[in-house]
Amino acid sequence: MPPTIPSNAVDSTVRFDGCVRWLAALAFMIGVLVLVGWTFDLTTLKGIRPGLATMKPKTALALMFAAGSLALMPYPPRKRLGQLLAGVTVALAVSNIIQDQSGLNFGTDDLLFTQAVRAEGQKRPGQMAPVTAINFCLLGVGLIFAHGRNRRLHSVAQILAVTASLTSMFALLGYAYGAESLYCLSRFSSVALHSAVGFVFLIAGLFLARPNQGLMGLATSPSLGGLMIRRLLPALILILVFFGWVRLAGQRAGLYEAPIGVVLLVMANIIGISILIFWTAFTINHADQQRLQAEIIGRESEARYRVLTEVSPSVIWASRPDGFVTYCNPYWHALTGLTIDENLGDGWNKALHPDDRAVVLEHWRTSANTGKSYEAEFRIRRHDGEYRWLFAKGLPLMDPGGRLVQWMGVALDVTELKIARDELRRAHDELDVKVRERAGELVEVNRKLSASLAEKEVLLREIHHRVKNNLQVVSALLQLQAAQCPERKVQVMFEESQQRVRSMALVHERLYRSHDLARVNFGDYLRSLCESLRLSYRAVDVDIRVESEHADLALDQAIPCGLLVNELVSNCFKHAFPEGGGGRIRIGLDPIEARAGMICLRVQDNGVGLPSGVKGADSFGLRLVDALVEQLHGSLAMTNGDGTTVEVIFPLSLNP
């Protein structure tokens, strides 16, 4: 709920600033045009037409000063300048009255257009008419009062304007009816027509400049009295003026004599005023019915609203525009233990926590200065002494004219929500700490695992290196043993065994030299193996080529595949080209697109081919091939054509 402080957020005045500026501009232009007329001797600008009274230059200046003061009325920061201009207007008028009554001559009448004014043949050249001077005095003082802040002086200013309007009305009616005596007090002292029009502009602007005070405040109010004034007064003035003009015009035209004209005028006024009264009564009655209906609807709405506020489980409050609390529902009184009288105005502050008062006041000042919704969160002391958290929100309520009339809002008890929010924040902070601690532990575990993995990798490389070295020792022993055998057949058997050991040693050599200790780049391995076999069999004239994509095999498949290729290529060197001469051997290892996860090992030569029934022969090499294919869980196919083609299809192992 808001504290009580002055609020300047909303202007509570119905304004007619645009109309005031236009009226001031029209009055100012009249004065300018009159001065132009005196400068260039233009009768139309000086006196409308020949035979009518002319406006004196001094009168034109006073009119311009008054219009300037009126134009500054919508700008409060320039009120001093406006009052100064109005004071100049009063000074010119007072000096004119003093000279007229005392016969003195201050010389102010001869400052402008002296010769032109004297040529008019008037007794007092350049001097304004006494009625004109009195009007300027009244309007000048009214403008000074209207520029001030005192509302009583605003009402006085409008009374002065009404007085000036009566004399101006006399002059205008005199010109309208052709009654010279109404605007001409003597042969040398008369009110010009455009002077009277200028006065009308100034008077209307003075009324519209302060439309919410004095007589204009009543006329512009939404009450029935204001409606009656707006309906009756303008129409009544027009009816009386029009019927008077018609009566006078008919009498001058000889249509009837004066008594009959008076009777006709009276009857016309009675009929017109009666019609006007009935029309106004109908309008007021219609407005009154609407008001009564609105009151009924308002009472029903108020009853529903009161029921809702009294049973609401949250605080509902209302305050004046300055923050003075005027209502709180029973829930507030039950919550704080404050009575209705104790709660009015700033009394509710007694329940406000001292530490929260500055925050609440700051939020309210912001809302009051901007006219935006009010929000605040603060602590209230409950009737049992416990403090509860409330969240309050208020909205400004405006009347149809955009004036702030009151604030209304609600306040919710958010203590449990705030406790839950604080606990959630505390749990979040604790979780954040634990996550950071756990992250640190995981980083440490990861570091240890990385170190352990590095150690195991070094150890595994060392194992592969030692296995390779041991196999090389076995190969060397086989070579020494073969050298000790006198029979060539036995030597060949030892050499074949030595080559098989080399093929296994080559796998381990590839492994400990590669970055991946679990898989072997079998394409590069095949090229090294085939080159070793060609050198071993001294088959330099045989074109042996590996046609394989990049294929990585796990260790449990690389060794049997290596032995398998060793047997097949050795058979090619031994049996495919018995007569010597050049030949061609092609080795391929490619995945099978039609069978996902399967790979085909192919060894092909263009030699003499296999003799019939070779699969049944008692050959250690072919039995070894069958055993290796079975170890790979594959299938073997041999075909004869242009040489021999051996294909082994087996599933590719995904695990290292």
- At 293-319, the pLDDT tens digits run 888 888 888 788 778 777 788 888 888
The answer for 113, left when phi > 0, alpha when psi is -120 to 50, beta otherwise, is: left
Residues 43 and 146 in one domain: yes
Of 167, 290, 283, the closest CA to residue 232 belongs to: 283
Has residue 275 been placed in a domain? Answer: yes
Helix (H, G, I), strand (E, B) or coil at 400: coil
Has residue 508 been placed in a domain? Answer: no
Residues 129 and 228 in one domain: no
Which residue matches tokens 């005028």? 265
| Residue 428 pLDDT | 92
Residues 202 and 265 in one domain: no
DSSP letters of 159-206? HHHHHHHHHHHHHHHHHHHT-GGGTEEETTEE--HHHHHHHHHHHHHH
Residue 375 pLDDT exceeds 70: yes
Report yes or no: 397 and 407 within 8 Å, Cβ to Cβ. Answer: yes
Has residue 454 been placed in a domain? Answer: no
Quick one: pLDDT band at residue 13, thresholds 50, 70, 90?
very low
Residue 251 pLDDT exceeds 50: yes
- How far apart (Å, rounded) are the C-alpha atoms in residues 300 and 402? 25
Report yes or no: 83 and 147 within 8 Å, Cβ to Cβ. Answer: yes
Q: How many residues does the chain have?
A: 656
Q: What is the pLDDT of the chain when averaged over all its residues?
A: 79
Find the largest Cα–Cα distance for the chain: 177
Which of 187, 202, 220 is the C-terminal boundary of a domain?
220
Work out whether strand 635-641 and strand 552-554 pair parallel, antiparallel, or are unpaired: unpaired
Helix (H, G, I), strand (E, B) or coil at 145: helix
Number of domains in the chain: 4
Q: What is the mean pLDDT of residues 140-150?
A: 90
**Burial per residue of 537-556, b for 16 or more beta-carbon CB atoms within 10 angstroms, e otherwise:** bebeebebebebeebbbebe
Residue 392's identity, in one-letter code, is A
Residue 653's identity, in one-letter code, is S
- At 191-231, the pLDDT tens digits run 888 888 999 999 999 999 888 888 888 888 877 788 888 88
How many Cβ atoms from other residues are within 10 Å of residue 66's Cβ? 33
Q: Which of the two residues, 121 and 492, has the higher pLDDT score?
A: 492
Most confident by average pLDDT, 111-120, 136-145, 250-259: 136-145
What is the reported pTM?
A: 0.50
Residues 368 and 381 in one domain: yes
Has residue 304 been placed in a domain? Answer: no
Domain that holds residue 343: 312-413
Residues 122 and 173 in one domain: yes
- At 512-545, the pLDDT tens digits run 566 565 677 777 777 877 877 777 777 777 888 8
